[in-house]
Amino acid sequence: MIEAPAYPSSFRECSDPRMSPPLIIRPAVSDDIGEISKLHARVFGPGRFARSAYRVREGKGHLSRFCLVACLGNAVIASIRTTEVTVGGTAGAVLLGPVAVDGEHRSLGLGSKLIHAALDTAKAGGAKLMILVGDQPYYGRFGFKPVPFGQIVFPGPVNPQRILAYELNEGALAGYRGLVVAEPSQNSAGPNC
Ligand SMILES: CC(C)(COP(=O)(O)OP(=O)(O)OC[C@H]1O[C@@H](n2cnc3c(N)ncnc32)[C@H](O)[C@@H]1OP(=O)(O)O)[C@@H](O)C(=O)NCCC(=O)NCCS
């Protein structure tokens, strides 16, 4: 298992003093699950359950140590889900996704802040590799690169060109080959979101 993360002080720097109430990015807690679920329903609709990240988590239903929410007051306006996974039985990888920003708050840099904060948090927590299934034109700007065809396999159909990885430890990708499986977690009894 990965050591508990020392949350980076950059969380406070993520607050935007121009916003009222102030924008806060913080680790997600169990009480946020309902609001995250509602956000996902607004952003992705019923198709969310077919997404790769949902399929990987299916039956595990957990909130990982690296999930984050962005809040304006009590309202969750954006979230980033992460799942600690093994790849071909090797631990230390994290599946990122989905990241969701409410429609009226897009193109303000919130998605970028969440992704940078998730990368920092996972690295601080000892993770070696972040993987996702998503658009290279968006995630490429953060340093995510395509995974060589067939190296990392997801349960269910996935366009292999959309499997991307970010090495939190330089050279880590070479150590990960095979099927992505969610790790058990402390919150495994909780609902999925
Ligand atoms: C993708 C998403 C999280 C980005 O959040 P955001 O807060 O708007 O992100 P940022 O402000 O950091 O960046 C916005 C930029 O990314 C671009 N962008 C968004 N999605 C993109 C995509 N799939 N491919 C390429 N560029 C994309 C926007 O056009 C915008 O460009 P601009 O800065 O030139 O206006 C948000 O649009 C969203 O929730 N979309 C619906 C859910 C989704 O598709 N999630 C990603 C899959 S898990």
Query: Which CATH number belongs to the domain containing residue 102 in this structure?
Result: 3.40.630.30
Query: Per the domain annotation, does 187 fall within a domain?
Result: no
Q: Decide which of 60 and 103 is more confident.
A: 103
DSSP tag of 77:
E
**What mean pLDDT do residues 73-84 have?**
94
Name the band, by pLDDT with cuts 50, 70 and 90, for residue 87.
very high
What is the whole-number distance in angstroms between the Cα of residue 88 and the centre of ligand 1? 31
Q: Is 92 in the pocket of ligand 1 (CB under 6 A)?
A: no
**Residue 110 sits in which domain range?**
10-182
- 90-119 burial, b for 16+ CB within 10 Å, e for fewer? eebbbbbbbbbbbeebeeeebbebbbebbb
Residue 137 tokens, joined: 């034109």
Query: Per the domain annotation, does 192 fall within a domain?
Result: no
Atom of ligand 1 nearest to the CA of 134: 47
How much of the chain, in percent, has pLDDT values that exceed 70?
Answer: 84
Which burial class, exposed, middle or buried, applies to 15 when counting CB atoms under 10 A from its CB (0-12, 13-18, 19+)? middle
**Cβ(110)–Cβ(100) below 8 Å:** no
Query: Per the domain annotation, does 189 fall within a domain?
Result: no
What is the whole-number distance in angstroms between the Cα of residue 189 and the centre of ligand 1? 32
**Cβ(52)–Cβ(133) below 8 Å:** yes
Q: Is 115 in the pocket of ligand 1 (CB under 6 A)?
A: no
Query: Per the domain annotation, does 17 fall within a domain?
Result: yes
The CA-atom distances, in angstroms, between 79 and each of 82, 145, 155, 172 are: 10, 22, 24, 26
Q: Which of 47-51, 80-84, 154-158, 166-170 has the lowest mean pLDDT?
A: 47-51
CA angle, 115 as apex, 163 and 184 as ends, to 5°? 65
DSSP tag of 32:
G
| Number of domains within the chain | 1
Quick: pLDDT tens for 153-188.
999 899 999 999 999 999 999 999 999 999 876 554
> How many C-beta atoms lie closer than 10 Å to residue 16's C-beta?
17
Work out the mean pLDDT of the chain and round it to a whole number: 87
How much of the chain, in percent, has pLDDT values that exceed 90?
Answer: 70
Query: Per the domain annotation, does 191 fall within a domain?
Result: no
pTM for the model stands at 0.89
What is the whole-number distance in angstroms between the Cα of residue 68 and the centre of ligand 1? 17
**Closest protein CA for atom 44 of ligand 1:** 100
Query: Per the domain annotation, does 136 fall within a domain?
Result: yes
Q: Is 98 in the pocket of ligand 1 (CB under 6 A)?
A: yes
Quick: pLDDT tens for 95-142.
999 999 999 999 999 999 999 999 999 999 999 999 999 999 999 999
Atom of ligand 1 nearest to the CA of 113: 12
Query: Per the domain annotation, does 73 fall within a domain?
Result: yes
**Closest protein CA for atom 43 of ligand 1:** 100
Query: Per the domain annotation, does 111 fall within a domain?
Result: yes
